[in-house]
Structure 1
């Protein structure tokens, strides 16, 4: 399992050919209390950088971009009733969607943990 990060503060945790996407701990701290998450639809085909979802907080609405190209295979429907899961645990209970990677080499252009930590300090 590998986790990569974007400069827009999304993470993708990759297991095999599937990636779990959400916003980083840093991003949710900047946004404040999450009040709504607009999820993508299952089956949606995305290119790297496409808008995939929207997270709304008491401060602002923020677009979530797909870190890789692929097809959405699953969404975190728990966020419909409890968007605050993103604040409580953005990497486990608060993930946003899962994507089947169509171009795994795109992961090479994303940040590793050390590089992302450097970006956010």
Structure 2
């Protein structure tokens, strides 16, 4: 039995990362959960072989570490919100995540597709 190609799996994980980022940006995912999701999904992505750009994974991990450090500091100090500098740093890290994900695994929306297959008729 041969191993399945990793490209569809890489795209699946990348799409999950995009959804996680979008949820955080929309305010529906708290920072601590965002950090957990990033860690979990990047761990999965790092376990995939044949990544086309190992540098992409390093860039994603640096952004994750930046976001994790902000979350850790926020929890340690017990503050209820981010400082202006933290907001700026967090925004830059999220932008870096999005940009690197686009290079690593372009989204499904950017993939050309043909017309949708018709729904097969039910056979009685």
Alignment TM-score > 0.5, same fold: no
TM-score, normalising length: structure 1: 0.31
Could you say which structure has the higher strand fraction?
1
Bigger-Rg structure (1/2): 2
